[in-house]
């Protein structure tokens, strides 16, 4: 596929450059500074990209780039959610603009685009319920309004998925493009975290579920690598009909 990657200079964005190329996608990188992107990648990798400068809060520019470059899919890693419950970051404005641009391009073309967005583990449901984990651990709350916007889209406007990892750490700081991926695969599930460890603790009134969330999400079990998540998205974009259409996706390292 031809993939528009918004936020290519970021931690996850750089690994997506690599993973998308390894999966033989064409990559159009949308960044605020091409000089910055060039400084972060080996020349041989940078040379394989189409690079377009623009701001992620500019929905018109995003729509134009998608249509002019004939992109089939987009991945947005631009903008970072604030941690504290009261934090206000650029992410909601970026998210809305990207969504509007992608939707507009799909409507003009008459076919919705495939799109991966990033959320956080807190927007996943506590297993067996329809209560978001961030109700129990109120951090990174800005992802909630973003997911709400996606879920409110009329059908056939964007073929979206939202990847919702816990902390992502780098495996390596060097960005290379191997012919085969060597990262351990993630186990994924729709709507809730996979392989949740349940506990009797949940029955303790009021603090039970928050404690079980902390035991699971705070224990490092759900920590994954940036490379694994990039690989997950790049692999999914090979399929015409994704298993993950219209859902928030929880992930865990298969080895944990
Ligand atoms: N890292 C984690 O552990 C983790 C865990 C769960 C979820 N997430 C989510 O995953 C996403 C990616 O995380 P990350 O660690 O890769 O973040 P990051 O390294 O901080 O990258 C953020 C990217 O956003 C770009 N950006 C910011 N504002 C922009 C704008 N107005 N226009 C264009 N680009 C803009 C930055 O570009 P510049 O280089 O131009 O500044 C940078 O490339 C975030 O949404 C984050 O909330 C991260
Ligand atoms: C990408 O293309 C190369 C060369 O044609 C091929 O060897 C490789 O298996 C392809 N990778 C994937 C993930 O399809």
What is the tens place of the pLDDT at every residue in 123-142?
A: 999 999 999 999 999 999 99
**Could you give the angle at the alpha carbon of 117 between the alpha carbons of 121 and 36, nearest 5°?**
110
Alpha carbon distance 73, 254 (integer Å): 27
**CA dist list (Å): 163 to 35, 66, 122, 192, 210:** 28, 21, 11, 11, 22
What are the structural domain ranges in the chain? 2-196+223-253
Question: If you measure from the C-alpha of residue 189 to the centroid of ligand 2, how many angstroms do you get, rounded to a whole number?
Answer: 27
Q: Which ligand is nearest to the CA of 87?
A: 1
Backbone conformation region of residue 171, classed left if phi is above 0, alpha if psi is from -120 to 50, else beta = alpha
Mutate to test the pocket of ligand 2, among 179, 234, 235, 236 (most ligand atoms within 8 A of CB): 179
CATH T-level assignment (fold) for domain 2-196+223-253:
Rossmann fold (3.40.50)
Q: Percent helix, strand and coil across the chain, each rounded to 5?
A: 35, 20, 45
- Which amino acid residue places its CA nearest to atom 13 of ligand 2? 23
Question: If you measure from the C-alpha of residue 24 to the centroid of ligand 2, how many angstroms do you get, rounded to a whole number?
Answer: 6
Question: If you measure from the C-alpha of residue 227 to the centroid of ligand 1, how many angstroms do you get, rounded to a whole number?
Answer: 15
**23 CB under 6 A from ligand 2?**
yes
Residue of 37, 36, 73 whose CA lies nearest to 237? 73
Alpha carbon distance 22, 13 (integer Å): 14
**25 CB under 6 A from ligand 2?**
no
What is the tens place of the pLDDT at every residue in 152-191?
A: 999 999 999 999 999 999 999 999 999 998 889 999 999 9
The 10 Å Cβ neighbour count of residue 39 is 10
pLDDT of residue 254: 85
Written as six digits, the tokens of 25 are 């996608």
Alpha carbon distance 224, 231 (integer Å): 12
Q: In the chain, which residues have pLDDT < 50? A: none
**239 CB under 6 A from ligand 2?**
no
pLDDT of residue 209: 97
pLDDT of residue 20: 98
- Mapped onto helix, strand or coil, the DSSP state of residue 170 is coil
Contacts of 232 (CB under 8 A, 6+ apart): 163, 185, 186, 188, 251
Question: If you measure from the C-alpha of residue 7 to the centroid of ligand 1, how many angstroms do you get, rounded to a whole number?
Answer: 6
**173 CB under 6 A from ligand 2?**
no
């Amino acid at each position: 596929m031809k993939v528009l990657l918004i936020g290519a200079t970021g931690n996850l964005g750089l690994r997506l450059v690599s993973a998308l190329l390894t999966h033989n996608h064409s990559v159009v990188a949308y960044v605020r500074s091409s000089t910055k992107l060039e400084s972060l990648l080996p020349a041989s990798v940078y040379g394989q990209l189409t690079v377009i400068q623009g701001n992620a809060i500019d929905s018109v520019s995003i729509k134009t780039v998608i249509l002019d470059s004939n992109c089939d899919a987009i991945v947005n890693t631009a903008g970072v959610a604030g941690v504290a419950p009261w934090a206000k970051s650029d992410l909601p404005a970026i998210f809305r603009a990207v969504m509007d641009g992608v939707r507009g391009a799909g409507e003009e073309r008459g076919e919705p685009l495939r799109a991966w967005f990033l959320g956080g583990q807190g927007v996943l449901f506590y297993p067996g319920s329809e209560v978001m984990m961030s109700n129990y651990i109120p951090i990174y709350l800005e992802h909630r309004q973003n997911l709400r916007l996606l879920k409110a889209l009329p059908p056939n406007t964007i073929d979206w998925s939202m990847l919702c990892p816990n902390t992502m750490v780098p495996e390596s700081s060097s960005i290379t493009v191997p012919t085969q991926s060597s990262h351990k695969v993630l186990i994924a599930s729709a709507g809730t975290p996979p392989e949740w460890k349940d506990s009797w603790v949940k029955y303790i009134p009021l603090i039970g579920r928050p404690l079980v969330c902390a035991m699971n999400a705070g224990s490092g079990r759900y920590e994954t690598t940036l490379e694994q998540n990039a690989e997950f998205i790049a692999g999914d974009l090979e399929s015409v009909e994704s298993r993950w259409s219209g859902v928030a996706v929880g992930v865990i390292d298969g080895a944990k």
